[in-house]
Structure 1
Amino acid sequence: MNRAWAGLEKAPDGSFKNKLYGLGLRLLSRVKPSEIFLKSISKEVTKVEVIYPSSLNARLVRRRLRHIAVRGFVIHKRYFYGSVSLLPITSAFAVLPLPNIPFFWILFRTYSHWRALKGSERLLRLLSDCSGKRNSSVVAENGSKSSHDSSENGTHNSLGPPWVLQPSKELENLLQHGDAHDGVNKCIVSNICKTFDLNTMDVLKYRDSM
């Protein structure tokens, strides 16, 4: 599939394959950033580090992260089974003398929802320690760590806390330049992305989807 997509990308301007490639880009641009985020959480991920404005409460940040994981699990599980049910229907278009675009799109969305579903499960597992321990670490502005462990013996997990919450005064200062009416504008988003090495387009798309 990747090879076929690369072939469409290299197609001459104005050709059918080039138009098909443009259609694919427009469809991909509609994928929500939250899905891209969840897809990036593989089973190899063992720790989540969150940088947030220093004015926010760490418990609120952790609760928001859990909400993203739970909501992602519910949504992508539903869409995964929905996409799977559409595969037999779209495969019937193979009899037509044209590329079976609906089938390949549904196939891609099925795989994408499956990865986002697995990412949600992994994130939930990190946030909710199934062994009965709940470890977290909050990094203070001076770099010192404050760890919390509610295990029975009060000892820390040898693997370290599954998530690290790091308040950032720098991020707080960047956000304070926003207008009360316009919120976080494109210029501020761009500065934040440069500072924390983020994809500006993904962040802007996530901001606009809220």
Structure 2
Amino acid sequence: MRARLIVFPIKGKKWCFSRSIDPFASQSPSGVTPTTLRGLWKKISSESKPINANAELLVDFISDKMNKAWMGLEIAPQGSMKNKIHGFGLKLLARVKPSEIFLKSISKEVTSVQVTYPPSLDSKLVRRRLRHIAMSGTILHKKYLIGSVTLLPLTSAFMVLPLPNIPFFWVLFRTYSHWRALQGSEKLLELISNHSNPKKPDSTDDTEESNKPKQVSQPPTCILLPSDELSKLLREANGEGLDEETILEICKTFHLNKNDVLKYRNLV
């Protein structure tokens, strides 16, 4: 599966890195991740898989449960305890850095990336910035993942209280989030290492090359494509960065999440 990444300056030296949302992308088939603990144990015990594959299955199971619980809070009546918890959760989620959201979007199913950027940016600089965000992500999220796992037993002690254990579920979510961001960092670093760099054929080597056995060239996993359309949308930018109207137009044109892009502009 190919992911389309959009890169552009948003305010001063700040760049936005976001993945285009494919409206026609198919969701993962239902039934792959067990819905019950019994089903999870049966799938793990009946199939001989490596430890990392079973860990992936466990993480997906926990993620599925967390998503369903969050959806339950979202539809709770106004003024209820669940509704207040949902509002508090939104405030916490607003503090998550946009780079983490970007790295989490690079899932294990992605086999190549197409990077769209304005022609005013140097392609080597774009690739270097992508490599930097991927390498720093592997270091940062590995450290935070260890810290979050360490906090899980401590926050689980609040289960004895009659109130919802918000600290435990928040730390559990952060553990999952850092796990996914770490995987995305490693995947992105792997993909951008094999970028497209077509070479022109040399007529002087035609005879020599014809005598060599032909090898099937592997397609590049990272393709850098400048976009005139994106460049036109950025022309209205000033020293203070892109205004919200321009950002909304870019998000609409390239199918980006508006809230994630705005986080880059508001990032201190």
More divergent stretch after superposition (186-195 vs 88-97): 186-195
Q: Give 1:102's match in structure 2, choosing from 167, 191, 195.
A: 167
Instruction: Report what 2:198 is aligned to.
Output: 147
Instruction: Report what 1:70 is aligned to.
Output: 135
1:40 is displaced (CA, Å) by 1.3
Q: Cα RMSD (Å) of the superposition?
A: 2.0
TM-score normalised by L of structure 2: 0.67
2:173 and 2:155 map into 1 onto residues whose CA distance is 12
- Structure 1 pair 148–42 and aligned structure 2 pair: CA distance change class (3 A): farther
TM-score normalised by L of structure 1: 0.84
Instruction: Report what 2:257 is aligned to.
Output: 199
User: Are 1:168 and 2:227 an aligned pair?
Assistant: yes
| Larger relative contact order (Cα-Cα within 8 Å, sequence gap ≥ 6) | 2
* Structure 2 counterpart of 1:93, one-letter code: F
1:105-184 paired onto structure 2 within 5 Å: 105-128=170-193, 135-137=194-196, 147=198, 158-179=217-238, 181-184=239-242
Aligned 8 A contact 1:72 1:117 in 2: yes
CA deviations 1:79-129 (Å, max 9, x no partner) are: 10010110011011111111111111101100110000011011111123x
1:148 is displaced (CA, Å) by 5.5
1:159 is displaced (CA, Å) by 3.7
More divergent stretch after superposition (82-91 vs 156-165): 156-165
CA deviations 1:158-190 (Å, max 9, x no partner) are: 4410100000122112111112x3221111111
- Structure 1 pair 156–58 and aligned structure 2 pair: CA distance change class (3 A): farther
Q: The residue matched to 2:195 in structure 1 has which SS?
A: strand
* Structure 1 counterpart of 2:253, one-letter code: T
1:30-69 paired onto structure 2 within 5 Å: 30-69=95-134
Q: The residue matched to 2:83 in structure 1 has which SS?
A: helix
1:2 is displaced (CA, Å) by 2.7
The alignment-based identity, stated in percent, is 63
Q: The residue matched to 1:136 in structure 2 has which SS?
A: coil
2:69 and 2:258 map into 1 onto residues whose CA distance is 28
- Structure 1 pair 20–157 and aligned structure 2 pair: CA distance change class (3 A): farther
Structure 2 unaligned runs (5+)? 1-65, 201-211
Structure 1 unaligned runs (5+)? 129-134, 138-145
| Equivalences, count | 191
* Structure 2 counterpart of 1:176, one-letter code: R
